[in-house]
Amino acid sequence: MAEFTAPLAEIRFALEELALLPEIAALPGYEQASDDLVGAVLEEAGKLAGEVLAPLNATGDREGAILENGAVRTPAGFPVAYRRYVEGGWSALPFAPEHGGQGLPIALSTAVMEMWIAANMAFMLGPILTLGAVDMLEAHGSTEQQHLYLEKLISGEWTATMELTEPQAGSDVGALRTRAIRDGDHYRITGQKIFITYGDHDWADNIVHCVLARTPGSPPGTKGISLFIVPKFLPDENGAPGQRNDLRPVSLEHKLGIHASPTCVMAYGDGGGAIGYLIGEENRGIEYMFTMMNNARLHVGLQGVAIAERAYQQALAYARTRIQGRPVGTKSATPLPIIHHPDVRRMLLAMKAQTEAMRGVAYVTAGGIDRARRHPDPATRQAAQLRVDLLIPVVKAWSTDLGVDVASLGVQVHGGMGYIEETGAAQHLRDARIAPIYEGTNGIQANDLLGRKLMRDKGAAAQALIAEMRGVATLLAAARGDDLAAIRTHLTQAVDALEEATRWIVENWDADPARTLAGATPYLKLLGTVAGGWVMALAALAAQRRLGAREGNPAFSTAKLVTARFYAEQYLPAATALLPAIRGGATVMSFALDQF
């Protein structure tokens, strides 16, 4: 497996030119995010990725997590790597200083998270869940709960899980059966959860399980679900781990990929009921859990970006060293590395362009979270939150679908060697495949995009984004150069298709939601593809400006222009082609079930 090097130049460019980190750093509370500090954070995070986490990726995949004697053991080196992560203060990066956090922007935290996921996705699945639990407790936990849990979670001394899924319920959370019976100042939790990432491990002194359960007499469906803190060890009077709670990992799932990440079946209440503490009010658990889920969905989308970057680096290294054939158009008398072959060059550029587009959309969305939380103007905060809400399902679904596609292309670049485990290309594809499934399958994300995001304001947030995209096209028209002219042509046509599709969905939703939802996945793909073209156009404009000002590395800026043009020519034309699929729900719904 090729070594991983954090793409610091690409990440810094995306932060500065797309997420507009310098503007974010000027927001109240972010003043410490100076250029020097940002550079130091990225540099050190890159070292953690390349020197500590990446070397464990292949060995962790081969060894896997093991359940023995009722406890989970992670692969060799993982507990030590986690200690390095904690000692570096990395888990505290984006959180409030009053709870021990460093108070740095979400956009910056997103960038370092990309590096770490690319280095070792299976490892980072644990810390990601803890980040979501902190967000949830900050928003909905009581003062006592915040005092007891936040500092330890933010420091990384304790970790957390998110527990929704049950064997009979799957994605239908409203069908869960785990019970919570009040017992004085706490509840007794009984039931079973499946697919629990890092439900048990050997990293931390305690694990804080965030568990959805149903109280007696609660309404049916999701309206009757409550959320509970169920610690592995009950904190004593000093807040230290005390008595073992009545919960245990029953088994580990045997998975296609992410073998080093323990995916547990968790049992609660075998000895009379695990002690749990209600978060907020009864029957509002789904509302509270969505705070954690939206955090997770951004980070799962980032997994698509990260695994694509790792697969690209792997394929590029192989293509530069694998000698095979005399490519058309060369005068070499001897065989050359396969990177000289036109189709291999096309595949590599496809991997690079799509990865940069995904990264841009993810970072722009993360920057929107910063503005929604910190901007002094209420109207700006509201507009930023609406944009974030619109793009979160796109980041999650579009990026993870592309992550699989890019990882698959990486195998293809290797040829037959890509199908052999020793090269490492296959692991990236196996690891990538889970991301379109968990934290809400990508079909659920598409339904959410239409039903909850697009229709709540009749497409107003989408139209605001479309108007901003048209503004970028106008800037391209005023600029010089064949690359920018080509990008403008394709972006304008793609935005036209997006606007047409958005208008059609809004106009037809009330008459037949099912038919409209049958085109939800093509619409999400359309929005993601065009959003990718939009951020790539912004990147091209920034690269042109840098070249004109003789700022930075001219080769880097030139590559940005060519990559953006490639994306526009190769992917934006598909926007118009998606319109029939978006409007073709009647065909889907008219197909009789007995004809499948």
Side chain identity, residue 495: V
pLDDT at 582: 97
pLDDT at 332 over 90: no
Q: How confident is the model at residue 173 (pLDDT cuts 50, 70, 90)?
A: confident
Give which of 19, 17, 15, 18 is closest to 38, Cα–Cα.
Answer: 15
Does residue 285 contact residue 225 with C-beta atoms inside 8 Å?
yes
Does residue 394 contact residue 461 with C-beta atoms inside 8 Å?
no
Structure-token pair, residue 395: 């980041």
Residue 341 φ/ψ, nearest 5 degrees: -75, 135
DSSP state letters, 388-436: HHHHHHHHHHHHHHHHHHHHHHHHHHHGGGGGSGGGSHHHHHHHHTTTT
pLDDT at 174 over 80: no
439 is catalytic: yes
pLDDT at 331: 80
Give which of 90, 107, 91 is closest to 46, Cα–Cα.
Answer: 90
pLDDT at 105 over 80: yes
Instruction: Give 28-59 pLDDT, tens digit per residue.
Output: 999 999 999 999 999 999 999 999 999 999 99
Q: 109 exposed, middle or buried (CB, 10 Å; 0-12, 13-18, 19+)?
A: buried
Structural fold of domain 160-284: Butyryl-CoA Dehydrogenase, subunit A; domain 2 (2.40.110)
Rg of the chain in Å (alpha carbons): 24
Give the C-alpha distances (Å, rounded to integers) separating 384 from 190, 320, 358: 40, 43, 19
Q: Which CATH number fits domain 8-155: 1.20.1580.10, 1.10.540.10, 1.10.645.10, 2.40.10.120?
A: 1.10.540.10
d(CA 131, CA 298): 11
Side chain identity, residue 278: L
Residues in CB range of 176: below 8 A, 6 or more apart? 164, 166, 169, 191, 212, 213, 214, 225
Residues in CB range of 358: below 8 A, 6 or more apart? 301, 304, 305, 308, 398, 399, 402, 403, 532
pLDDT at 168 over 90: no
pLDDT at 293: 80
Structure-token pair, residue 141: 């936990």
pLDDT at 321 over 90: yes
d(CA 468, CA 479): 17
SS3 219: coil
Q: Which of 135-149, 167-181, 271-285 is predicted with the least confidence, judged by mean pLDDT?
A: 167-181
Instruction: Give 384-425 pLDDT, tens digit per residue.
Output: 999 999 999 999 999 999 999 999 999 999 999 999 999 999
pLDDT at 284 over 80: yes
SS3 77: coil
d(CA 319, CA 336): 10
Helix 482-508 and helix 554-570: axis angle, to 10°? 40
pLDDT at 294: 81
Does residue 77 contact residue 58 with C-beta atoms inside 8 Å?
no
Residue range 223-235: average pLDDT? 97
SS3 content of the chain, % helix, strand, coil (to 5): 60, 10, 25
Domain boundary assignment for the chain:
8-155, 160-284, 457-589
Does residue 401 contact residue 524 with C-beta atoms inside 8 Å?
no
Residue range 64-86: average pLDDT? 97
Residue range 286-301: average pLDDT? 89
Q: How confident is the model at residue 458 (pLDDT cuts 50, 70, 90)?
A: very high
d(CA 32, CA 138): 22
Residue 247 φ/ψ, nearest 5 degrees: -150, 155
Helical H runs in 549-578? 554-570, 574-577
pTM of the entire predicted model = 0.96
**Are 8-155 and 160-284 the same fold in CATH?**
no
**Which residue in 17, 439, 499, 569 is the catalytic one?**
439
Name 266's bridge partners. Answer: 193, 249
Give which of 543, 131, 46, 111 is closest to 364, Cα–Cα.
Answer: 111
Name 592's bridge partners. Answer: none
Q: How confident is the model at residue 191 (pLDDT cuts 50, 70, 90)?
A: very high
Q: How confident is the model at residue 93 (pLDDT cuts 50, 70, 90)?
A: very high
